């Protein structure tokens, strides 16, 4: 009995799980870029032409969300956790603001929530 528990507890991440997380990361990047470009036009006085790649990025975002094989509501709920993480990465990489320890803790909690929603065993 103990060996079965150890095998279950030591289960490694499989290729489908890595694909799911990777797809979520790319999806979040598409959404953030699609929102950031209009922000640059509206708040920073950049060219209106930024709306074109922004719209394309948001269209890519919607398409990427449709690629997940599970129920849409579950995908949207889990995706939110990855979006939070990517927004904090964006804060650091693009905005040049170092995340606080609470930003990182919140992102970690969101990612744990995503993992529970997407990868927990289920019967349906």
Which backbone phi and psi does 18 adopt, to 5 degrees? -65, -40
pLDDT at 28: 95
Decide: 30 and 57 in contact? Cβ < 8 Å: yes
Decide: 54 and 13 in contact? Cβ < 8 Å: no
Decide: 99 and 92 in contact? Cβ < 8 Å: yes
What tens-digit pLDDT sequence spans the chain (124 residues)? Answer: 444 444 444 456 677 788 888 999 999 999 999 999 999 999 999 999 999 999 999 999 999 988 987 888 888 898 999 999 999 999 999 999 999 999 999 999 999 999 999 888 887 6
pLDDT at 5: 42
Decide: 79 and 54 in contact? Cβ < 8 Å: no
Query: What is the residue extent of each domain of the chain?
Result: 15-119
Contacts of 62 (CB under 8 A, 6+ apart): none
pLDDT at 29: 96
């Amino acid at each position: 009995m103990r060996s079965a528990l150890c095998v279950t507890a030591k289960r490694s991440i499989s290729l489908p799980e890595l694909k799911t997380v990777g797809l979520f990361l790319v999806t979040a990047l598409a959404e953030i870029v699609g929102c950031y470009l209009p922000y640059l036009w509206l708040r920073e006085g950049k060219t209106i032409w930024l709306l074109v790649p922004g719209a394309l990025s948001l269209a890519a975002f919607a398409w990427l969300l449709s690629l997940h094989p599970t129920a849409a509501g579950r995908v949207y709920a889990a995706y939110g956790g990855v979006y939070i993480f990517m927004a904090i990465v964006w804060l650091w990489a693009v905005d040049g603001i170092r995340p606080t320890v609470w930003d990182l803790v919140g992102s970690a909690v969101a990612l744990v929530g995503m993992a529970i929603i997407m990868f927990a065993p289920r019967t349906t």
